[in-house]
Amino acid sequence: MCNRSEVVSFSQLLLCLVLLLSSAVCAGEEEKKPEPAPAPKADNEKEAKAEAPSPAKDPYGAPAAPAKKGDDGAVPLPVLTKAMQHMKMIPVGPAKVSFGMDHQTRVEVWDNKFIGNGRTYTNGLTFFRTRLWMDWDLHKHVRVFVEGQDSRKDGDIGAQKRFWEDKPDLLEGYVDLRNLFNEDLTIRIGRQGLVYGKQRLVGTFEWSNTGRRFDAIRVFWKSKDKDWSADAFASKVVVIDPEGFDEQHPTEEFYGLHATYNGLKNHHFDLYTFARLDDNNRIPDELHNPTSTVAPVVSLGDLDIYTHGFRAWGAKFFGGLDYEVEAAFQWGAVGRGDHLAGSAHAEAGWTFSPSWEPRLMAEYNFGSGDDDPADGDNNAFNNLFPTNHLHYGYSDYVNWSNTHNVAVGFTAVPYRGITVWTKYHQFWLADRNDGWRNAAGAVLGRDKTGNSGSSLGCEFDVGVSAKINKHINAQIGYSIFDGSEFLLKTRPSNGETSQFLWAQAGISF
């Protein structure tokens, strides 16, 4: 249960959020005609053209995009905005330097959270994350970016510490060699984030308190007519060390090529191929030590997985219709067996004409499972390096592997700077002989006989986010997961319901 100090801190933060949201509503009511918030920024810098507004955007952990004129939020603070401008584009000889920071505090209260080895916990948690950055524009062909991070927590998370704590460390540090050969061509070398599409396969996982970064060499290119863009990289994922310096993974390598075509009005297309290679792959498996309080690690040997896929999306046609489809195919080897797997996503939405932009949507997600875990081959889709928190429920109990997921949702912008959203998910295992994996890939339950059925349960999420102004944002949300047949049979002592309440506030400049 939550102790008294945790309840007090949670109540204080909720009170602050209520006051902020109330002030935002009042500001909106003072307007003669409330203006809707601008459309959400695209997840990927490649997706510069308009994309359908979608609850899959991450308004909670991602760094704020640079504000534009008229994008002042619900309660503009021009004095603060003007003061912050003195930290940008400071002349240093022929170069210019900008400085900035962002901080976020999030409070979470869990009731009966399902974790590995058949365990649960009920607790109150507080997360703090501060980032400081410097952007040094040295020359029209050279740019240097450095960002540090300090991540801390208060409370027992009951999970791997590296997702939540990282004492002062380097988050990003890279050099851009840009505008090369009279082309829109950039080479980026150093520690950096990789984000592609909606982050179903590759993303920065900002909901965690530490994020995800890669040590990489990356090449960006855009055609002169801007219809085509391409991005190729060779990288190693950075492993968070909560107490020491974060180092790259010693054996795992990750390569990719991603291309986007924007030449058709209101329609956009991605093609990609990724290679995840590791000659000493190790994954958690609860079956080898079911009584342990720490997830054991079992060596599987080589992992060579090649992923090929496409994505298409569009908006603003036939009135308010938008859509997105994505599919991926995998082949390779895991240990001494073959790997063959696939995944798919389909989504459609309709945005109605009122100024508050109500949008209804429906989606389906599929990730293949392993039909015979004992045959040495693997058919469970490998989710690579995703930001699953955006897609399969805010409780983070499901990923894009061994899953059938149907969802419906609603979003609206009732006042400038304020977004309300809700979503309902239904979950089933794609193969009942394979395991139930959460957003981080940990196995929460498994019945190799298949006698526990395939129905996992359902989840309902609801939340409100407020962009108070260019620098301050706040969010609050609630999720409830109600387990079904599979959970009740594989985790009979855990109960069937899990609840999650969270609130977050952030400031950036």
The whole-angstrom separation of Cα 47 and Cα 66 is 16
Rg (CA), the chain: 23
The whole-angstrom separation of Cα 235 and Cα 188 is 11
pLDDT band at 81 (very low <50, low <70, confident <90, very high): low
pLDDT for the residue 71: 53
- Name the architecture of domain 4-508: Beta Barrel (2.40)
Q: With 60 as the cut, is the pLDDT of residue 18 above it? A: no
| The pair of three-digit structure tokens given for residue 212, joined into one six-digit string | 């995800």
Q: Which residues are paired to 124 by β-bridges?
A: 109
3 state DSSP class of 25? helix
Residue with tokens 């009740």: 488
pLDDT for the residue 78: 64
Which residues are CB-contacts of 416 (< 8 A; sequence separation ≥ 6)? 27, 28, 31, 34, 35, 36, 37, 73, 74
pLDDT tens digits, one per residue of 229-239: 999 999 999 99
pLDDT band at 59 (very low <50, low <70, confident <90, very high): very low
Q: With 80 as the cut, is the pLDDT of residue 207 above it? A: yes
pLDDT for the residue 461: 98
Give me the torsion for CA of 400, 406, 408, 409, rounded to 10°: -10
Task: Please name the amino acid found at residue 336.
Answer: R
Q: Which residues are paired to 383 by β-bridges?
A: none
Segment 210-224 shows an average pLDDT of: 95
Q: What is the pTM of this model?
A: 0.82
Q: With 50 as the cut, is the pLDDT of residue 33 above it? A: no
pLDDT tens digits, one per residue of 265-314: 999 999 999 999 998 876 544 333 333 334 445 556 789 999 999 999 99
CA 340 to each of CA 97, 370, 379: distance values in angstroms, whole numbers, following the listed order: 49, 9, 5
Q: With 80 as the cut, is the pLDDT of residue 28 above it? A: no
Q: What are all long-range contacts of 292-298, with beta carbons under 8 Å and residues at least 24 apart?
A: 292/117, 293/117, 293/119, 295/116, 295/117, 295/160, 295/442
pLDDT for the residue 338: 93
Q: With 70 as the cut, is the pLDDT of residue 172 above it? A: yes
DSSP state of 250: S
201 neighbors 328 (Cβ within 8 angstroms): yes
Number of Cβ within 10 Å of residue 385's Cβ equals: 19
3 state DSSP class of 216? strand
Q: With 60 as the cut, is the pLDDT of residue 434 above it? A: yes
pLDDT for the residue 347: 98
Q: With 60 as the cut, is the pLDDT of residue 27 above it? A: no
The whole-angstrom separation of Cα 152 and Cα 82 is 31
Q: With 80 as the cut, is the pLDDT of residue 451 above it? A: yes
pLDDT for the residue 470: 85
Q: With 90 as the cut, is the pLDDT of residue 60 above it? A: no
Per-position DSSP letters for 292-312, written without gaps between them: -SS--EEEEEEEEEEEEEEEE
pLDDT for the residue 493: 77
Segment 386-402 shows an average pLDDT of: 96
pLDDT band at 163 (very low <50, low <70, confident <90, very high): confident
Average confidence score pLDDT of the chain: 82
pLDDT for the residue 212: 95
How many Cα atoms occupy the beta-carbon half-sphere of 283 within 13 Å?
18
The whole-angstrom separation of Cα 254 and Cα 244 is 24
pLDDT tens digits, one per residue of 96-153: 999 999 999 999 999 999 988 788 888 899 999 999 999 999 999 999 999 999 999 9
pLDDT tens digits, one per residue of 473-483: 999 999 999 99
Q: In angstroms, how far apart are the furthest CA atoms of the chain?
A: 71
Per domain, the residue ranges of the chain are 4-508
Segment 399-407 shows an average pLDDT of: 97
3 state DSSP class of 509? coil
Residues in the chain: 509
Which residues are CB-contacts of 83 (< 8 A; sequence separation ≥ 6)? none
At residue 479's C-alpha, the angle toward residues 474 and 481, to 5°, is 165
Q: Find the DSSP H helices in 415-497.
A: 485-490
pLDDT for the residue 469: 87
Segment 201-208 shows an average pLDDT of: 95
The whole-angstrom separation of Cα 102 and Cα 87 is 14
